[in-house]
Amino acid sequence: MPKRTKRVNASKQPTSVITGGAGFLGSHLTDLLLSRGHRVIGIDNFVTGTVDNIAHLAGNPNYKFIQQDVTEFLFLDGPVDYVWHFASPASPIDYLELPIQTLKVGSLGTHKALGLAKEKGARFLIASTSEIYGDPLVHPQKEDYWGNVNTIGPRGCYDESKRFAEALTMAYHREHSIETRIVRIFNTYGPRMRINDGRVVPAFVSQALQNKPITVFGKGTQTRSFCFCADLIEGIYRLMMSSHSEPVNIGNPREMTMLEFAESIIDATGSRSKIIFKPLPQDDPKQRRPDITRARTWLKWEPKICLEDGLKPTIEYFRGKISS
C-alpha cells in the first residue's frame, strides 16, 4: 500500500489541529501537545465543549482557537502536521438529545477533517469508541471483533457515526494514501467532565457529594473499566506518533460492576448516599473491558494511574463545581 513520504521535520515546531478542542478529552490533549512543543489550533462549536476547559490557555502564543462547526468546510492558512478529530457528543444524554448532530459530526465532520489532512499532507487520528462493539458477544473486546450493534436503536446514532468514521478514515488511507490512526476509547474519567452529561462517573460523584441516592441501572451487574484521562491521552499520543494504521483499544482493563463502582464512589467521597436501582436502558452494554494487547505491544503503553488515585482530583473538581 502506498504511503505518503512526508514526515514532520524535527527541527521545526509541529502544528496540530484538534477538533472538539474545548471538550473534556480535547482540552487535555491540547495541554499535552503544548507541553511537548506543538503549536495547537483548537476548533469547537461549544455544543458540548466549554470555554472553561481552555480558559487557562488565554494568551498562550502557541495556541489558537477557532469557534466553528466541524461539519462545515475547514480552511486554515499555513502548514498542519497532525489532525486529531475529537469532535462529537460523547455521552448518552448528548447523543439522545442530539441524534442528527451526532450523526453529522461523525460523517460530515470526519469528511471535512480528513479533507483538511489530505490538503495539508497531515497525519490524521480519529477518536473512535468502544461503543462500536455495541453490546459485545465476546469478552474482553479485541480490535478484530466486529461488534454487535443495534443500528436503529436509541444509541445507534452514536455507534454508527463512529463506525462510519472508521470506515471513511480507512477509505482515505487506502484511496489517498493518508497516514491515519484509529483509537477506540473505552470509559474515561477525570477533571473537566460535565457534571450533568449523563455518564456514570459524573453522575455517581455528583450524587455522592450531595448525599443524594446513587442511581444504578438494572441490578448493577453490568461491567465497565475506567481509565484516567492522563493515561488515555498519553496512549493516544503514542498511537499518533506510531506507524500503525489498524485500530487500537486504549483503556484500562481493570473491570468492575456498576454496583462495585457505586460503592467505591461512596467510600472515596465519604458520602451518606444510598444506592437505588432503576430499569436498565435499552441496548446498554452488559460488559465492557478492553483487550489492550496491541497497545502494550505496539505502543509500549498501559495505564499507570489506579482508580483510587484518579478519583481524587476528579472528585475535587466536581466538588468545586457543585459548591460554585
Amino acid letter, 105: V
C-alpha torsion 112→132→21→55, nearest 10: 160
pLDDT of residue 5: 40
Do 265 and 311 contact (CB within 8 A), yes or no? yes
- Segment 21-42 mean pLDDT: 98
Distance CA 290, CA 309 (A): 20
CATH number reported for the structural domain that contains residue 107 in this entry: 3.40.50.720
Between 93 and 302, residue with greater pLDDT: 302
Helix (H/G/I), strand (E/B), else coil: 211? coil
Kindly report the CA angle at 162 between 158 and 165, in degrees rounded to 5?
140
Residue with cell 505518503: 4
Closest CA to 247 of 129, 164, 119, 140: 129
Query: Is 262 among the domain residues?
Result: no
Query: Is 272 among the domain residues?
Result: no
- Segment 87-102 mean pLDDT: 90
Give me Rg for the CA atoms of the chain.
19
User: Which DSSP helix (H) or strand (E) runs through 303?
Assistant: none
b/e sequence 209-237, b meaning 16+ C-beta within 10 Å: beeeebbbeeebebbbbbbbbbbbbbbbb
pLDDT of residue 35: 98
Query: Is 283 among the domain residues?
Result: no
Query: Is 143 among the domain residues?
Result: yes
Alpha-helical runs (H) found in 212-254: 229-240
Query: Is 284 among the domain residues?
Result: no
pLDDT beyond 90 at 284: no
Residue with cell 451487574: 221
pLDDT beyond 90 at 193: yes
This prediction has a pTM of: 0.93
pLDDT beyond 70 at 29: yes
Query: Is 320 among the domain residues?
Result: no
User: Which DSSP helix (H) or strand (E) runs through 225?
Assistant: strand 223-225
| Phi, psi angle pair for 124, to nearest 5° | -125, 135
- Give the model's confidence band at 186: pLDDT under 50 very low, under 70 low, under 90 confident, else very high: very high
- Segment 178-191 mean pLDDT: 97
- Give the model's confidence band at 283: pLDDT under 50 very low, under 70 low, under 90 confident, else very high: low
pLDDT beyond 70 at 4: no
Its domain, for residue 243, covers 15-189+228-252+290-303
Interval 131-171: pLDDT, tens:
999 989 999 999 999 999 999 998 899 999 999 999 999 99
Query: Is 206 among the domain residues?
Result: no
pLDDT beyond 80 at 276: yes
Q: Would you call 157 exposed, middle or buried from its count of C-beta atoms within 10 A (0-12, 13-18, 19+)?
A: buried
- Segment 218-226 mean pLDDT: 90
DSSP 191: T
For the annotated catalytic residues, the residue numbers are 158
- Segment 249-270 mean pLDDT: 95
Query: Is 282 among the domain residues?
Result: no
Checking DSSP bridges between strand 255-257 and strand 223-225, what pairing results, if any? Answer: antiparallel
Distance CA 200, CA 3 (A): 41
pLDDT of residue 11: 52
Number of structural domains, the chain? 1
- Quote the percentage of the chain above a pLDDT of 70: 96
Do 30 and 53 contact (CB within 8 A), yes or no? no
